Amino acid sequence: MPHAFDKLESNDKLTAQVVICSIIAAFGGLMFGYDIGISGGVTSMDDFLEKFFPKVYVRKHRAKEDNYCKYDNQMLQLFTSSLYLSAIVCCFFASKCCKRYGRKLTMQLASLFFFIGVILNAAAIDLPMLIIGRLFLGAGVGFGNQAVPLFISEIAPPKYRGGLNILFQMLITIGILCANIVNYATSKMHPNGWRVSLGGAAFPAIFLGLGSLLIVETPTSLIERGQIEQGKQTLIKIRGVDDVEKEYQEILQATQLAQQIKHPFKNLMKKSSRPQLICGTILQIFQQFTGINVVMFYAPVLFQTMGFGGNASLLSAIVTGSVNVISTLVAILGVDRFGRRGLLVEGSVQMLIAQVHQYFQFEF
């Protein structure tokens, strides 16, 4: 959906309504971040491995292989990856849901799916129940990641859109850090500490579900679904002024243009759309290829394979998560001042320097 108000210079006041709605919506990021951080810590806990992956547990404590082979188990990999496979599939359904039923309902479904997954995981008695729970969590992540950034973009004033959008990423990093702290605490709760870790994801899911009942739908979504007058009244409410005619007309025009496009994916293949397509996909792909997600997903396990003890690996994950939060906070404060491109270049150079340093450190 085109963002019709990118060029607007008026009505850029950051109202309490926008801030509250953005924070509540961003808890979808906290759900996602918590799950990213929690799975790696849980899979390093002996009680969890002994119950669901006894072969891995035996290898970890008795076998003579190197540390990597101790965690080489397809079902253990399925435990982690099933969530993200489910999220990929559900993103397509979430996109349709966002367009037809609105961003608000999509976020409510995200919290519902996530909460069901949390219950199944925390109460799991066997591996199938655990995997089914992960699939529901994936559905929640897919719906949340589709709706939340779109919701925040559509209600944020142009002047603050960059910072408010990064709020979603900020909550992801906070979720990762919270999960690492919880894992460190629950690793000493035998034999059900892993249940507490997995069950903790219920809190952001409940907050998003209840909070989404209080927030408004975005004006763009309302206008897109034919609720023209309600969309204008909502725009007045979130901007805190009565004179929103210019922005309202821009949204209305962009919505009408978008509805005229019958085959959007075909349009992406046109030559005129290639720069946007490349920027919107290649940048994201290479961001994943940096390997940072592997560190976030498997941090405690990675540190254990490097020779760290159980507590030390979980503590190291907390340090990594803290750096992640601080860096995201810097991005929030700087994105609208220095621009997206400037932060992207700085981050890329910083990662390159760090990875080159690591290469020569291990090589020599």
DSSP per residue over 313-338, as a string? HHHHHHHHHHHHHHHHHHHHHHHHHH
Nearest to 176 by CA among 28, 325, 288: 325
Domain boundaries, the chain: 16-215+291-363
114: its two tokens: 């996530």
- CA dist list (Å): 28 to 38, 145, 310, 312: 16, 7, 30, 30
What pLDDT score does 220 carry? 92
Torsion of CA 23, 29, 33, 34, to 10 degrees: 70
Helices (H) and strands (E) in the chain, counts: 18, 0
What pLDDT score does 67 carry? 55
Residues 6+ apart with CB under 8 A from 312: 303
pLDDT tens over the chain, length 364 residues: 444 444 444 456 788 889 899 999 989 999 988 988 888 888 888 899 899 999 888 877 765 555 555 667 788 888 888 998 999 999 999 999 999 999 999 999 999 999 999 999 999 999 999 999 999 999 999 999 999 999 999 998 888 887 788 888 889 889 988 988 998 899 889 899 999 999 999 999 999 999 999 899 999 999 999 899 999 999 999 988 888 888 899 989 888 887 777 777 777 777 777 888 887 788 878 877 877 777 777 777 777 766 676 677 778 778 888 888 888 888 877 777 777 788 888 888 888 888 887 777 766 5
**CATH number, span 16-215+291-363:** 1.20.1250.20
Helices (H), ranges, 102-227: 103-122, 127-155, 161-186, 193-199, 202-211, 219-224
What pLDDT score does 363 carry? 60
Q: What is this structure's pTM? A: 0.83
What pLDDT score does 195 carry? 95
**Distance between CA 197 and CA 184 in Å, rounded?**
9
Nearest to 320 by CA among 351, 296, 354: 296
Long-range contact set of residues 192-199: C-beta below 8 Å, sequence gap at least 24 = 192/47, 193/45, 193/47, 194/42, 194/45, 194/47, 194/48, 195/122, 195/123, 196/122, 197/38, 197/41, 197/42, 197/45, 198/38, 198/42, 198/118, 198/121, 198/122, 198/124, 199/118, 199/121, 199/122
